């Protein structure tokens, strides 16, 4: 069958194919190092839940509602109590991917408050080392130190990990499987680490958001928390319900070793 591409000289077609292949390879290396890994979308996770599965009584059912998960990385910090006030005022739930060193251990009362107010406690490693760049034993230690610190403070161990910079691979997935944890990436980033402009952070989030998305923000940067009221108002105007990652997956449960990405 004739295709318009067949009229392109072979050398040009080869160059185009090479650029495409190299681009895909570069993306894979950027996200996960040399090894490949599979991802599962929140919708796919829900669709594969056992027949008859139900969400918790009184919880949002994202099979019906238009949901988006709100997540915060690298805290808690001195900014987090104000963020919790805002979330309470808007009746919104979020997932907090927390750093252990200088954060969880420094703000134990804030960690307890996050849990007490119904938000989801999650792991962002101990000291933000890139897990794909270090030895397996070191990567495991980065994860377990924060698991242990959160457990000492709250009595519970997180089920979710966000690898620093979103960089993961088969090695990291295997460690998470052994530890009973799932990994969570994202679909929306405001790049709030590069600006203190709260209006810009708000705009970036609202411009990118889609149903079943996962929003990445950081509660350690000065421009982020002031942007949250506008983000929540904008999401509500668009018909979204803001949930935790586990609520987004429900009635499915986070599966150890799985990497979730919208």
Q: Where are the domains of the chain?
A: 1-32, 39-260
Average pLDDT over residues 106-123: 98
- Which residues partner with 70 through β-bridges? 215
How much is the pLDDT for 221? 96
Residue 256 burial (10 A CB sphere; 0-12, 13-18, 19+) = middle
| Residue-level pLDDT at 36 | 63
**Fold adopted by 39-260:** TIM Barrel (3.20.20)
Contact 244, 119 (CB under 8 A): yes
- Give per-residue pLDDT as tens, 200-225: 999 999 999 999 999 999 999 999 99
| Tokens read off for 4 | 């318009």
Rounded to whole angstroms, the Cα distance separating 162 from 249 reads 16
Average pLDDT over every residue of 139-159: 98
| Residue 28 predicted with pLDDT over 80 | no
Listed in sequence order, the residues at least 6 apart from 144 whose beta carbon sits closer than 8 Å to its beta carbon are: 179
How many other β-carbons are positioned within 10 Å of the β-carbon of residue 72?
30
Q: What is the mean predicted confidence (pLDDT) over 103-122?
A: 98
**Band of pLDDT at residue 181, cut at 50, 70 and 90:** very high
Cβ contact 96:121 at 8 Å: yes
User: Residue 239, by phi and psi: left (phi above 0), alpha (psi -120 to 50) or beta?
Assistant: left
Q: What is the CA radius of gyration of the chain?
A: 20
Active site residues per annotation: 73, 218
Banded pLDDT at 38 (limits 50, 70, 90): confident
Report the Cα 176 to chain-centroid distance in Å: 15
Q: How far apart are CA 154 and CA 11, in angstroms?
A: 62
| 45-63: pLDDT as tens digits | 999 998 888 998 788 999 9
Indicate the pTM of the whole model: 0.86
pLDDT top residue among 73 and 27 = 73
* Close Cβ partners of 132 (under 8 Å, ≥ 6 residues apart): 32, 33, 163, 167, 168, 169, 171, 172
């Amino acid at each position: 069958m004739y295709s318009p591409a067949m009229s392109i000289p072979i050398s040009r077609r080869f160059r185009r194919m090479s650029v495409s292949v190299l681009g895909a390879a570069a993306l894979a290396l950027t996200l996960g190092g040399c090894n490949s890994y599979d991802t599962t979308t929140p919708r796919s996770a829900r669709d594969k839940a056992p027949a008859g599965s139900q969400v918790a009584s009184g919880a949002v059912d994202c099979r019906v509602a238009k949901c988006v998960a709100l997540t915060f990385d690298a805290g808690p910090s001195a900014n987090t109590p104000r963020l919790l006030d805002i979330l309470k005022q808007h009746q919104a739930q979020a997932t907090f991917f927390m750093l252990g060193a200088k954060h969880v251990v420094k703000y134990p009362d804030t960690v307890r408050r996050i849990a007490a107010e119904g938000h989801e406690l999650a792991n962002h490693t101990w000291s933000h080392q890139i897990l794909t760049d270090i030895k397996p034993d070191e990567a495991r230690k980065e994860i377990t130190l924060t698991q242990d610190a959160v457990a000492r403070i709250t009595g519970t161990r997180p089920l979710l990990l966000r690898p620093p910079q979103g960089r993961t691979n088969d090695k990291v997935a295997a460690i998470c499987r052994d530890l009973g944890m799932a990994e969570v990436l994202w679909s929306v980033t405001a790049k709030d680490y590069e600006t203190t402009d709260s209006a810009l952070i708000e705009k970036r989030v609202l411009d990118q958001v889609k149903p079943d998305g996962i929003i990445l923000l950081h509660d350690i940067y000065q421009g982020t928390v002031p942007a949250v009221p506008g983000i929540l108002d904008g999401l509500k105007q668009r018909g979204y319900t803001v949930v935790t990652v586990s609520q987004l997956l429900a009635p499915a449960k986070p599966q150890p070793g799985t990497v979730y990405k919208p």
